[in-house]
């Protein structure tokens, strides 16, 4: 299925790609930046070689030099408590930024590891800082992305604080679905790059519970699962389970944003 020719195309595709040609630029840092200014941003970004599954982008405690944008593949971030326990804090998809939690004291509080082969753009923070002093649109987008992260984390807190196991998993799947959709992929059929254990850990559940929920949801006709692949058969109902803050809500006030 792969020829040397297609491989060449892939490498070019994954290794160069300036921001202006990147299909993710409307989700990422370049959003709203004029073409002329975009070159200056491009100039400070380092496209790193792909990192393999299991390889770390940085580890907890590492000194903070840069934030990273996922270009392809996916990452997970996690904390390690002194007793060696791991707490998964999030999963990052293409177009999402990682490492903004390290700005405050120049050391990473989490570790970031690739869940599958992934490529990232490294954005040296000191350069980003000075450039965003010069480009208001860049400054604005950086603040927006950090604000978005705060909001997403709050959403997760709410899920953990008040949802049942089934609702948590539904919310998780809907979140992934929405994010895949934004990135041009199918919102109903996608791959889970993380293990059941990672999902359970992230959602504050036991691994066995997640497994049971998948079979239960399958039996209820909500989805199909085969190993890593999921297909959402009834996204509507999953949205309701999740706490209903998905698209299409007729009886609502102004074009609404719900928490």
Partner DNA sequence: CGACGACATTGACGCAGATCAAAATCACCT
Partner DNA sequence: AGGTGATTTTGATCTGCGTCAATGTCGTCG
46 makes contact with a copy of itself (CB under 8 A) = no
Strand arrangement of the beta sheet that strand 189-191 belongs to: 189-191, 229-232, 223-226
Give 51's DSSP letter.
B
* From the list DNA, a copy of itself, none, partner contacted by residue 109 (C-beta under 5 to 8 A by kind): a copy of itself
Residues 147-206 contacting a copy of itself, CB under 8 A: 147-151, 153-154, 156-158, 160-162, 201-204
**CA separation, residue 192 to residues 19, 60, 99, 102 (Å):** 27, 24, 22, 27
**238: which 2 tokens?**
């999953």
9 makes contact with a copy of itself (CB under 8 A) = no
259 makes contact with a copy of itself (CB under 8 A) = yes
* From the list a copy of itself, DNA, none, partner contacted by residue 12 (C-beta under 5 to 8 A by kind): none
* From the list a copy of itself, DNA, none, partner contacted by residue 158 (C-beta under 5 to 8 A by kind): a copy of itself
User: 176-185 as b/e, with b when 16 or more CB fall inside 10 Å?
Assistant: bbbbbeebeb
* From the list a copy of itself, DNA, none, partner contacted by residue 225 (C-beta under 5 to 8 A by kind): DNA
First CA to last CA distance, the chain: 45
Cα(123)–Cα(140) distance, integer angstroms: 16
- Binder of a copy of itself out of 110, 121, 170, 176 (CB under 8 A): 110
Contact positions vs DNA (CB under 7 A): 164-166, 195-197, 204-212, 214-215, 225, 227-228, 250, 253-254, 257-259
Cα(28)–Cα(100) distance, integer angstroms: 13
**CA separation, residue 246 to residues 48, 129, 174, 192, 258 (Å):** 35, 35, 8, 20, 9
Give 34's DSSP letter.
-
- Binder of a copy of itself out of 18, 31, 60, 225 (CB under 8 A): 60
* From the list a copy of itself, DNA, none, partner contacted by residue 96 (C-beta under 5 to 8 A by kind): none
What are the φ/ψ torsions at residue 193 (nearest 5 degrees)?
-80, -10
Which CB sits closer to a copy of itself, 78 or 190?
Answer: 78
258 makes contact with a copy of itself (CB under 8 A) = yes
Give 250's DSSP letter.
S
226 makes contact with a copy of itself (CB under 8 A) = no
Which CB sits closer to a copy of itself, 129 or 231?
Answer: 129
Residues near a copy of itself, by CB under 8 A = 60-61, 79-83, 85, 87, 89, 100-105, 107, 109-110, 129-130, 132-134, 136, 139-140, 142-151, 153-154, 156-158, 160-162, 201-204, 243-245, 253, 256-259
């Amino acid at each position: 299925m792969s020829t040397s020719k297609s491989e060449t195309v892939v490498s070019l595709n994954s290794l160069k790609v300036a921001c202006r040609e990147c299909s993710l630029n409307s989700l990422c840092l370049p959003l709203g930046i004029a073409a002329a200014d975009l070159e200056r941003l491009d100039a400070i970004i380092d496209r790193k070689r792909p990192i393999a599954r299991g390889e770390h982008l940085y580890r907890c405690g590492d000194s903070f030099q840069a934030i990273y944008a996922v270009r392809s593949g996916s990452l997970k971030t996690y904390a390690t408590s002194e007793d060696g326990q791991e707490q998964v804090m999030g999963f990052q998809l293409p177009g999402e930024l990682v490492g903004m939690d390290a700005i405050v004291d120049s050391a990473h509080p989490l570790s970031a590891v690739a869940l599958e082969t992934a490529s990232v753009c490294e954005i040296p923070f000191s350069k980003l800082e000075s450039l965003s002093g010069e480009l208001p649109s860049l400054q604005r987008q950086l603040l927006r992305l950090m604000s978005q992260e705060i909001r997403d984390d709050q959403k997760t807190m709410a899920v953990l604080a008040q949802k049942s196991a089934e609702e948590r998993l539904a919310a998780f799947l809907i979140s992934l679905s929405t994010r895949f959709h934004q990135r041009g992929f199918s919102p109903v059929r996608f791959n889970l790059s993380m293990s059941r254990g990672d999902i359970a850990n992230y959602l504050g559940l036991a691994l066995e519970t997640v497994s049971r929920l998948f079979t239960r949801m399958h039996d209820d006709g909500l989805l199909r699962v085969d190993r890593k692949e999921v297909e959402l058969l009834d996204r509507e109902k999953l949205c309701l389970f999740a706490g209903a803050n998905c698209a299409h809500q007729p009886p609502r006030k102004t074009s609404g944003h719900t928490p």
